Amino acid sequence: MTHSGTPPAAEVRPHPAKMAYEVLTAVSMTVGRGSAARAMTDLAALTSADRVVDIGCGPGTAARAAARRCACATGVDPAPMMLRLGRWLTTARHIPNVTFVRGTSEALPLLDASVTVTWAISSVHHWTDRAAGLAEASRVLAPGGRILLAERLVKPRARGHAAHGLTRDQADQLANDLKAAGFGDVHTEVRKARRRTLVIVRGSRPAAG
């Protein structure tokens, strides 16, 4: 693992059909994501002093949006194809202060207290161990840092793709999980991002002292 954007040497190339599927998935995640990214930059009230990590960044739309307003942004994702596309788009758009690193929410490849904002958009429902992910988010946040977890608000009986997100009850559970992980000032809000309705659970790491 490096922080320089170099893929790990042991990365194995998938079967061409699987690779084509991964390319299509990654490209599809560049479409229509701008409004959610802007909602996050607004809600986080980013300043030029902030350092942001986007957990489960996909091809990095929100990391790039953050980088336009903050000191630096890091996109973390377990999927090599997402990271490749993210790096390519970032280079093509000449955005210098974004780095992409392979990792998961459960094992963030970042130093303790190294960022001021952690956020995740449509990735929490993919995390395999939420408690571990929240512990990692807390570890990498500086005291007083903010956490914002956004998911599509879904209906309780939704199935298939329509179920990819959180119901209001599940969002309330996520808020409780944040409190259990030691975050303070936890609250939940609902926001429209073009055609999507997002539920955003946010909080902050208590300031030191």
Ligand X SMILES: C[S@@+](CC[C@H](N)C(=O)[O-])C[C@H]1O[C@@H](n2cnc3c(N)ncnc32)[C@H](O)[C@@H]1O
Contact residues: ligand X, CB under 6 A: 29, 33, 55-58, 61, 77-79, 82, 104-106, 121-123, 126-128
Question: Smallest distance from the beta carbon of 58 to ligand X, in angstroms?
Answer: 3
- The answer to whether the beta carbons of residues 85 and 98 sit under 8 Å apart is no
- The answer to whether the beta carbons of residues 137 and 113 sit under 8 Å apart is no
- Residue nearer to ligand X on the CB measure, 42 or 185: 42
Within 8 A by CB and 6+ apart from 169, the residues are 156
- Residue nearer to ligand X on the CB measure, 13 or 161: 161
Question: Smallest distance from the beta carbon of 207 to ligand X, in angstroms?
Answer: 27
Question: Smallest distance from the beta carbon of 189 to ligand X, in angstroms?
Answer: 18
- Residue nearer to ligand X on the CB measure, 34 or 206: 34
- Residue nearer to ligand X on the CB measure, 41 or 122: 122
Question: Smallest distance from the beta carbon of 123 to ligand X, in angstroms?
Answer: 4
- Residue nearer to ligand X on the CB measure, 128 or 143: 128
Question: Smallest distance from the beta carbon of 164 to ligand X, in angstroms?
Answer: 7
Kindly give the pairing relationship between strand 141-152 and strand 72-77.
unpaired
Residue with the closest Cβ to ligand X?
58
Q: Which of 151, 71, 78, 59 is nearest to 115 (CA)?
A: 71
